[in-house]
Chains A and B, each alone.
Chain A
Amino acid sequence: MIPAPFAYACPSTIDEALQAVASGGEDVKILAGGQSLIPVMRLRLAAPETVVDLTRVAELRGVREDGDAIVIGAMTTHSDVLADPLIARYAPLIAEATETVADRQVRHRGTFGGALAHADPAGDLPAVALALDAEFVVAGLEGRRTVAASDFFVDYLTTVLQEGELLVEIRVPRREGWGMHYEKFTRVAQAWSIVAVAAAVRMEGSRIAEARIGLTNMGPTPLRASATEAALTGAEATAEVIAAAAQHAAENTSPSSDLNAQADYRHHLAQVLTRRAVTAAAGL
């Protein structure tokens, strides 16, 4: 189908973009890579009055180092994330998860910030951002604010972003020497996660000093597997210890039942995938 008509703005700076959003009327949609927005516009599930396209806002693209963090511009495409040496070195979990997003055509257009702001519970990057303790820098006409990943995701397809605000960059703490792994379960090519687990582990000798685990599609927002993290902290990294800790992975989750899986099956998957993800991250 063909999308409903809309007014189109194509700003080239963040300030122009914020102005365009502010003056766009009642129903403004921000277009990042468009790989989720254009499909819903084609189905007319969305018919915004104005579309503000961020494609030409060069300052929103790219990855840089800033102190003890790497800073990823919201409009950095998935393909650029995959090729980036800073991400490969300090946050390889992001690259590993990004590689599983959709297909290469979609990854050429789709963006890191767009996927996070869209906040699809089956999307791969929100749980990764949560596991890595990312911070979200949000710009508005009044200035900027920084939101922790644990506060950013509010509900199904809903974030703390207010009308008129723009996600401009994501700060990810540098985690050199951590082991990381993204374990995704899906049935067919280019599909969304049925469940996936993002694990980051810091080893001290044979013990796990810190473990951070994010769960994809185990509720309306990404979740941490807190009980598993607690069970792993300070523990000897053995197959038995990890398997026992992973039994707690689905605690305090509320996955949906849908065509892909019932909730109880998702509980099972969370445990199995957490065991695999932590095992790989710990280098066993």
Chain B
Amino acid sequence: MTQISVRVDGTPYDDDVEPRTLLVHYLREQLGKVGTVVGCDTSNCGACTVHLDGEAVKSCTVFAVQADGCEVTTIEGISPNGTLHPMQKAFHEMHGLQCGFCTPGMIMASIDLVNDNPDPSEDEVREGIEGNLCRCTGYQNIVRAVQQAAGEMHGRSTAGDTLGAQS
């Protein structure tokens, strides 16, 4: 066992973990942060995306010991005051999900993208979230949601910018 100290969603934790424990398993099984899901377990689907020191990573492809001393933000920590984060709100309003399994990872990857690129084009959104797979293939509305949220996160009005969600 190795001792680690991490802050997860703003709360400090000191825990013993086996070196082989993946970050996603630590989050889900030791901390009960089950908002972060395991999708493919092959580093492809991005459902397990969290932020490690502010950067989106696939938490199935990081050992928990590697997060020692770091700040982890999961889908459960992006809006601590109970309101929806602009990205969550946009996914809700634009119907950016169907079954919802990919959504936590989609939202965490999209926030990371919009932090780097405040006004991504449709192509840039598609490239930017290429590490996240939606098996419902609801990409159209996901792209619309990311663009709407980008506007809101960076103080641009989105009224009239969009035709709304389309099925």
Give chain A's interface residues, CB within 8 Å of chain B.
1-8, 10, 34-35, 38-39, 41-42, 51, 53, 55, 79, 102-106, 108-109, 189-190
**Interface stretch (choices B54-62, B83-91, B141-149):** B54-62
A sample of 24 cross-chain residue pairs with beta-carbon separation below 8 angstroms, ordered by A number, consists of A3-B20, A5-B18, A6-B19, A7-B19, A8-B63, A10-B68, A34-B61, A34-B62, A34-B63, A35-B43, A38-B61, A38-B63, A39-B61, A41-B20, A53-B65, A53-B66, A102-B131, A104-B131, A106-B58, A106-B61, A108-B55, A108-B56, A109-B62, A190-B130
Residues in B neighbouring A189, C-beta threshold 8 A = 130-131
Alpha-carbon separation in the docked complex, A3 to B44 (Å) = 17
Docked CA distance A189–B123 (Å): 12
Interface Cβ pair total, 8 Å cutoff: 82
Residues of B within 8 A of A35 (CB): 43, 61
CB–CB B130/A109 < 8 A: no
Query: Which of B18, B60, B66, B130 is in CB contact (< 8 Å) with A55?
Result: B66
Question: B residues bordering A, Cβ < 8 Å?
Answer: 2, 18-22, 25, 41-44, 46, 49, 52, 55-58, 60-63, 65-66, 68, 109, 112-113, 128, 130-132
Interface SS majority for chain B: mixed
Given contacts A4-B20, A104-B56, contact A10 B65 (CB under 8 A): yes
Inter-chain contact B112/A104, CB cutoff 8 Å: yes
> Contacts A38-B43, A42-B41, A190-B130: A105 and B66 contacting too (C-beta < 8 A)?
no
On whether A104 and B62 interact (CB within 8 A), knowing A1-B41, A5-B20, A38-B43, the answer reads no
Q: Which of A6, A103, A106 contacts B20 (CB 8 A)?
A: A6
* Contact A39:B57 (CB < 8 A) given known A8-B2, A55-B66, A190-B130: no
Instruction: Name the residue on A nearest B116 (C-beta).
Output: A104
Q: With the chains together, A5 CA to B19 CA distance in Å?
A: 7
How close is A114's CB to chain B, nearest CB, in angstroms? Answer: 13
Q: A3 vs B60: C-alpha distance in the bound complex, in angstroms?
A: 11
Whether B57 contacts A103 by the Cβ 8 Å rule is no
In order of increasing CB-CB distance, the 6 nearest A-B pairs are A103-B131, A8-B19, A189-B130, A108-B55, A3-B20, A105-B131
Give the one of A3, A7, A104, A109 with max B CB within 10 A: A104
CB atoms of A109 and B57 under 8 A apart: yes
Q: Cβ of A42: which chain B residues have Cβ within 8 Å of it?
A: 22, 41-42, 60
Residues of A within 8 A of B41 (CB): 1, 42
**Least CB separation from A1: chain B residue:** B41
Structural contact, A109 and B113, CB atoms closer than 8 A: no
4 other A-B residue contacts (CB within 8 Å) besides A7-B19, A55-B66:
A2-B22, A8-B63, A38-B63, A106-B61
